[in-house]
A and B are shown apart, each in its own frame.
Chain A
């Protein structure tokens, strides 16, 4: 990429490069088809599959800011939780239509994301990490203090979500849940793909690589960062809303620091700065966790910890980075 960009930095090649990047490879098509397999092969794993899809969407939202714009965060569960509560409270108020609920939650989380973005784009490194963490904890404490609205630690039971398109009823097996979450994940993935392969996406990567140089080439990096942060917050809100809608429950843990930390772990595990890293990371982390916890509910995290350490030591670019190097493909970073 660097060669292509710096050596022949004229508009035409850049556009060609973008075009090449946005072409679909057969790998990708197979990948998405494979995500349909649980419907046929593992129907009893659909509840897990839909929670993985939700985690993947959440990880994708973090990848947009962390992997593509270099904004490191330890508080993104804030938006996940806001989305979850927005959808849950709308349902409590009597409106349980899923798609409008989803939209409402996304807009709400995005709005809060936009407001906080003024603060976020002005700090970096450890300060950024700690400010996002601080805002996340503040939101959690606020939700706890407003337990008359949020149900506090006890949580809220959300009225059952109405059938999608008034037809697909949310069933105990999770067919509808998985179909729904997978569809939302796919749409958000498509949008993200367009986004990162646009000139806007390139500008973001420029910021990630060198913040100071961007204003010099006439790029308003604050504006760019605010935009992507808002988008990412909205997407995290969608993920939270999906969780509230498909599980009919929401409690304070949607806002927890652990959730913010877990999503980073999934993302780094899969590989940052690649959209598929978010999805693969979520799949591997949650499937491993589910299987290990099934075998040994008390000590599973020993093996998860070991897995993380092994990945860092032997696959410093995440599992996807490792695989793509194995496959001998050029790093598309």
Chain B
């Protein structure tokens, strides 16, 4: 009885997937945490992918692009590994893409390596991700890339001589702390102290008080996107730790649009480093933002969106170069050294490390036409990840 039930169930599940097999398609498996705590990142990234396809058509080099979405529900390295495996053996995917989170990219990397498939990392920002396989290329950003640059800038141009660092206690946070401190101290600055906040931290007041006790010229912050940027921003200002008395330096998530809305006046003067700036005055970016908001109920693009958008650009251009050849070796060769104008600005793929090279923007929250926004105050072109 039980057995029959199970067989029926398994049978039903088979029927679902043996759909028609069209010729001349390029199948791109997209592995993302569409559900769970990182669902928003996945949605924004997916919207970036969709926008690119909508703009450039779903046919490239005579082949039709087909997306296969796989949810990890995670951070779940094991699920990502299985999804990659299934994409290769069951769905016949030619390219695997997505990867919002580092552990999931690490999980899938051995599969890309063994199956010799191009793997496009559209977000996961830990340096070592691209070192896991010769078939991995990244179109997002690396944490050391933007934060090392910020550290250097803070001392050389920002007029900060000593700072306190406050980062989330997990991989990306540790990376951020290390690279900001490296850039800052190598230039001549001094780190007064550093604290790490639990990743799921609902309340920052204790840490902010510790910063206050140390009385630094500037505080450097790294927290994951979502609810934390606004929370920590407000906690800082409640303590009187606000520009111009105390400079606040951070990675761009801190002042993304929702956080700015929530922080209001208190956000004024926060300095952030990022690879994508929503308000950057550039025709390509304007067109991108307009298209994006129109397609997403007014929601504005963020770092995830641009990673997905440029990831698709890389795939399209690589396919054009190989004339539709989808073998991993051909595609990765085509991707190496590729350079293009993205809505974020000029970017390219380092032929050595297969990692992204791009302009890093230092921005300050200022009032423009009565609205607070990130205004670019400094640009550093062609920045590579300093750790590779």
Query: Do A and B touch each other in the complex, judged by CB within 8 A?
Result: yes
Q: Which positions in A face B, CB cutoff 8 Å?
A: 27, 30-31, 34, 37-38, 41-42, 44-45, 47-48, 51, 141, 144-145, 147, 151-157, 160, 172-174, 243, 247-254, 276, 280, 283-284, 287, 290-291, 293-295, 297-301, 320, 323, 326-327
CB of A257 to closest CB in B, whole Å: 10
Q: Is the CB of A30 within 8 A of B3?
A: yes
Interface centre among B2, B7, B111, B170 (most CB of A within 10 A): B2
Establish whether residues B174 and A152, one from each chain, have CB atoms under 8 Å apart when the complex forms. yes
Give the chain B neighbours of A326 by CB distance below 8 A.
Answer: 1
Contact call A51/B78, Cβ cutoff below 8 A = yes
* Interchain Cβ contacts under 8 Å between A and B, 17 examples: A31-B6, A34-B6, A41-B14, A42-B10, A45-B14, A48-B82, A48-B86, A153-B75, A157-B132, A172-B115, A174-B85, A247-B81, A248-B110, A249-B81, A254-B78, A293-B34, A297-B32
**In the assembly, what is the distance between CA of A261 and CA of B89, in Å?**
31
Q: Which residues of A are found within 8 Å of B3, using beta-carbon distances?
A: 27, 30-31, 34
Q: How far is the CA of A280 from the CA of B110 in the complex (A)?
A: 31
Contacts of B109 in A (CB 8 A): 157
B169 touches A144 (CB 8 A): yes
Cα distance, A38 to B172, chains bound together (Å)? 40
Per-position 1/0 for B2-46, Cβ under 8 A of A: 110111011001101100000000000000101100010001000
A297 CB contact (under 8 Å) in B9, B69, B89: B69
Chain A interface mostly:
helix
Q: Does B240 contact A (CB under 8 A)?
A: no
Interchain CB contact (< 8 A) of A27 among B1, B171, B172: B1
Known: A47-B85, A152-B170. 18 other contacts (CB 8 A): A51-B78, A51-B82, A147-B174, A152-B174, A153-B172, A154-B102, A155-B106, A172-B111, A248-B81, A250-B78, A251-B77, A252-B75, A253-B77, A254-B78, A291-B16, A297-B32, A297-B69, A301-B35
Given contacts A155-B102, A287-B10, A298-B39, contact A293 B73 (CB under 8 A): yes
Task: Tell me the bound Cα distance from A45 to B17 in angstroms.
Answer: 11
Q: List chain A residues, Cβ under 8 A from B106.
A: 154-157, 249, 251
Known: A30-B3, A172-B89. A42 touches B14 (CB 8 A): yes
Q: A47-B86, A294-B17 are in contact. Are A253 and B81 (CB under 8 A)?
A: no
A249 touches B110 (CB 8 A): yes
Q: Are B16 and A172 in contact (CB under 8 A)?
A: no
Identify the interface centre among A30, A173, A247: most chain B CB within 10 Å of its CB: A247
Using A47-B82, A172-B111, A251-B106 as known contacts, say yes or no to A34 and B7 having CB atoms under 8 A apart: yes
With both beta carbons as reference points, the residue of chain A lying nearest to B129 in the complex is identified as A154
State whether A284 touches B171 (Cβ < 8 A): no
CB of B358 to closest CB in A, whole Å:
22
- Are B77 and A249 touching (Cβ within 8 A)? yes
| A323–B1 alpha-carbon span in the complex (Å) | 8
B103 touches A253 (CB 8 A): yes
Which residues of B sit under 8 angstroms from A254, Cβ to Cβ?
78
Residue numbers in B under 8 Å from A276 (CB-CB)? 2
Residues of B within 8 A of A34 (CB): 3, 6-7
Q: Is the CB of B107 within 8 A of A147?
A: no
Give A144 to B7 CA distance when docked, in angstroms.
41
Tell me if B114 is interfacial: C-beta within 8 Å of chain A: yes
- The CA of A144 and the CA of B173, in the complex, are separated in Å by 12
A326 to B102 alpha-carbon distance, docked (Å): 47
B residues in contact with A320, CB < 8 Å:
2
Residues of chain A contacted by B79 (CB below 8 angstroms): 51
User: Which B residues, 162 to 214, have Cβ-Cβ distances below 8 Å to chain A?
Assistant: 169-172, 174, 198-199
Q: Does B70 contact A (CB under 8 A)?
A: yes
Report yes or no: A253 in contact with B75, Cβ–Cβ below 8 A.
Answer: yes
A247-B199 contact given A253-B77, A294-B16, CB 8 Å threshold: no
User: B299 at interface (Cβ–Cβ under 8 A)?
Assistant: no
A247: B residues at CB distance < 8 A? 77-78, 81-82, 107
Q: With a CB–CB cut-off of 8 A, which chain B residues contact A47? A: 82, 85-86, 89
